[in-house]
Amino acid sequence: MKFVHIADVHLDIPFTTLEKRNLAENRRLEQRNAIKKVIEYIKENNIPYLFICGDLYEQEYIRQTTIDYINRLFETIPNTKIYIVPGNHDPYIKNSYYVKFKWAPNVKIFTSKLEKIEEENICIYGYGFEDFYMKKSEYEDITIEDKGKINILLTHGTLDGSRDDASLYNPIKKSTLRESGFDYIALGHIHKNSYNDEEGQRIVYPGSLISLGFDEQGSHGMILRRN
């Protein structure tokens, strides 16, 4: 099965360091361009699923024009199912675009209530932020019903966090995930990409789609699964 997994796009982030040199707006256009390239790849290669694992935009700064822009992109891939889990920068709150905007019909937005979507050969479980913090979630109680299918979990959170604030951002334990039986855990939140593969279970942070600061060196982009 094929899918594309991205996270932490942070559309319309202020880029305060660049603002002093009048370069912030350029970089915001590069953010738009990066997501456009992802959508074009999906369209050219008929990828059936796109997973966006939180922090798609900045709740405080996002502009209506940017939402219109990405929704128009989503409309260009009507055969691709787009699953979005809200993160701590784009929580599912009352005045958010997730709640008040009419998204393209191929877009599904998860809430903090764990939900399962059954497809032909895969099951997709997802939950996200409903506030700027999430100390607890239901992920420990998930039981996979159909092990014959590919089971995927989408969320935004902190895997085995060690920093003091880790417990505020949906703390998740690798050991609990291992018992859960998911095949692929699609995460967002950590801006550096990382890939963990143990006994066939993959836990993946794609990292931020493009670098969002001088502290985000190294490679950035999307994750593609082809088989």
Positions touching Mn ion (CB under 5 A) are 8, 55
Distance CA 28, CA 146 (A): 42
Token pair belonging to 164: 């003091």
Least Å distance, CB 204 to Mn ion, is 15
Q: Which residues contact 155 (CB under 8 A, 6 or more apart)?
A: 53, 54, 85, 126, 127, 128, 137, 139, 170, 172, 185, 186, 187, 188
Rounded least distance, CB 10 to Mn ion, Å: 6
Smallest gap from residue 156 Cβ to Mn ion (A): 8
> What's 80's DSSP letter?
S
CB of 43 to Mn ion, least distance (A): 26
Taking the complex as a whole, the smallest distance from the CB of residue 55 to Mn ion amounts, in Å, to 4
Q: Which is nearer to Mn ion, 125 or 169 (CB)?
A: 169
Is 81 or 191 the residue whose CB approaches Mn ion more closely? 191
When the beta carbons of 152 and 187 are compared against Mn ion, the nearer one is 187
Nearer to Mn ion, 90 or 180 (CB): 90
Q: How far is the CB of 92 from Mn ion (least distance, A)?
A: 16
Give the residue with the Cβ less far from Mn ion, 22 or 217. Answer: 217
Residues 6+ apart with CB under 8 A from 152: 51, 122, 123, 124, 125, 182, 183, 184, 185, 186
> Which of 100, 8, 12, 130 has the alpha carbon at shortest distance from 60?
12
Whose Cβ is closer to Mn ion: residue 129's or residue 142's? 129
For residue 36, the minimal CB distance to Mn ion (Å) is 20
Per the CB < 8 A criterion, the answer to whether 189 and 158 are in contact is yes
Contact of 222 with 38, CB cutoff 8 Å = yes
Q: How many CA atoms lie within 13 A of 3 on its CB side?
A: 22
Question: Closest-CB residue for Mn ion?
Answer: 55
Q: How far is CA 18 from CA 14, 21, 30, in A?
A: 9, 5, 13
CB-nearer residue toward Mn ion: 8 or 130: 8
Euclidean distance between CA atoms 206 and 223, whole angstroms = 6
